[in-house]
Chains A and B, each alone.
Chain A
Amino acid sequence: MKKELKQKSKHIYWNPYYGGFLLGILILFTFYLTGRGLGASGAMKSSVVSIIESVAPTHAEESNYYSKFITEDESPMKNWLVFETLGVLIGAFISGGLNGRIGWRIQHSPKITSKRRLVFALGGGVLFGLGAQIARGCTSGAALSGMAVLSTGGFITMLAIFASAYATAYFFRKNWI
């Protein structure tokens, strides 16, 4: 009986309006406290910058892009978004733990292999990482936080992301449906 209950609760998520409401309040609260919004890809950029800085310091300093994020006395990892991202990992781990969703797995449609899923995940990640740099932010930093203050750039990025995802969904349908 207990096991059955545990099985059942695995895929029960919050009502999306409830989750959305809390997320909206969190964004409001973040702006109220810090004057800025949330972010996610920023921490990954800091990680890349600090890896390159330690592996090839002269290359990082000479690069026009890495050098923007390198300061003399502080590590690029000492950054608001990096701390926030650590929090995201902790928060998601707590939520997943409370609902019995933690475990090593590769999630994919039964119609495709794990290998195919991982190949597409890698390719999708590369594209998202590239796009997030060009647009100076991802769905969190540019679209969601931008929209909260009516940023024109945020709205345009949001529209471009969803328009392009819908336009190309047909070509990736095998992976999902």
Chain B
Amino acid sequence: MGPLIPNGVIPIEWDNIIAILIGIVFGFVLEASGFSSSRKLAGLFYGYDFAVLKVFFTAAVVSLIGVYYMDYLGYLDITQLYVHPLYLWGAIIGGIIMGVGFVAGGFCPGTSLCAVAIGKIDAMVYVAGIMVGIFIFSELYPLFQPIYEGYFYGNVTLEDSLGINPYWFVFIFSMIAIVAFVVSDMVTKKVKKIFY
């Protein structure tokens, strides 16, 4: 039963090899989907290209359905999976700062790495910027510590926070994604085309 490595089905020695293999597929899929182009990514915020929305939400829906279905079938124990913890104000403030960085720089960390791999100099500058940002955070850590460590609610899921049935949530979320896809296509038709 999964997860395989924590349960010892696959020996821990394979961990780093698997990391590289998973990374290769991750990088390949992102690059092939056009995520090495900042101008394609930024299309999301101006309505001329919704590839990010489509890839991101399709991936979220597929992985959500997959995780819950494999749990239901008994192949994967969902309670053993790592749930990203909730530090309420850290999540909100960090997200807001990242959003400005996204639209200013045109990348997020994963996509910038793909662009670095194919030689985009702007992406290399962006990655250098990320490292500077991490450095600033680390040096000013006492300043950020209250929001970094405070308002902690545990490794909670929406099931815990909202009391919602996860299966219903996955269903509703999938429907919202489909509506978003249809609306995004309608918006693209109305917005002035940008060639890049």
The judgment on whether A and B are partners is yes
Which residues of A are at the interface with B, using a C-beta cutoff of 8 A?
A: 11, 13-14, 16-17, 19-38, 40-41, 44-45, 47-49, 52, 63-66, 80-81, 83-97, 99, 101-109, 117-118, 120-142, 144-169, 172-173, 175-177
A129 to B30, CA, bound (A): 20
A-B complex: 6 closest residue pairs judged by Cβ atoms? A87-B23, A124-B105, A125-B129, A129-B133, A160-B95, A24-B62
Task: Give, as a whole number of angstroms, the nearest-CB distance from A9 to chain B.
Answer: 12
Task: Give, as a whole number of angstroms, the nearest-CB distance from B43 to chain A.
Answer: 8
- Residue in A38, A108, A157 whose beta carbon sits within 8 Å of that of B26 in the complex: A38
Asked if residues B31 and A124 are in contact (CB atoms below 8 Å), the reply is no
- Residue in B44, B56, B95 whose beta carbon sits within 8 Å of that of A157 in the complex: B95
- Residue in A49, A85, A118, A163 whose beta carbon sits within 8 Å of that of B99 in the complex: A163
A122 to B118, CA, bound (A): 18
Nearest residue (CB) in B for A140 is: B110
A140 to B169, CA, bound (A): 21
Q: Does B176 contact A (CB under 8 A)?
A: no
Could you pull out 16 A-B pairs where Cβ atoms are within 8 angstroms? A17-B58, A25-B62, A33-B5, A64-B142, A80-B16, A91-B31, A92-B117, A92-B118, A95-B27, A124-B100, A125-B101, A136-B148, A149-B157, A150-B157, A161-B95, A165-B102
- Residues of A contacting B33 in the complex (Cβ-Cβ under 8 angstroms): 13-14, 16, 19-20, 23
Asked if residues A168 and B99 are in contact (CB atoms below 8 Å), the reply is yes
Task: Give, as a whole number of angstroms, the nearest-CB distance from B62 to chain A.
Answer: 3
- Residue in B54, B102, B109, B125 whose beta carbon sits within 8 Å of that of A17 in the complex: B54
Besides A89-B27, A121-B129, A177-B194, 12 other CB < 8 A contacts?
A: A24-B60, A33-B10, A40-B108, A90-B24, A91-B24, A124-B103, A127-B97, A132-B98, A150-B159, A151-B86, A151-B156, A157-B92
- Residue in A80, A121, A131, A140 whose beta carbon sits within 8 Å of that of B125 in the complex: A121
Max chain A CB contacts within 10 Å: which of B19, B91, B141, B192? B91
Asked if residues B116 and A161 are in contact (CB atoms below 8 Å), the reply is no
Which residues of B are at the interface with A, using a C-beta cutoff of 8 A?
A: 2-6, 10, 15-16, 18-34, 36-40, 42-46, 48, 50-51, 54-64, 66-67, 70, 75-76, 78, 80-88, 90-110, 112-123, 125-139, 141-142, 144-145, 147-148, 153, 155-162, 166, 169, 192, 194, 196
Task: Give, as a whole number of angstroms, the nearest-CB distance from A46 to chain B.
Answer: 10
Q: Known interface pairs A125-B128, A135-B90, A161-B102. Does A26 touch B83 (Cβ–Cβ under 8 Å)?
A: no
Nearest residue (CB) in A for B69 is: A28
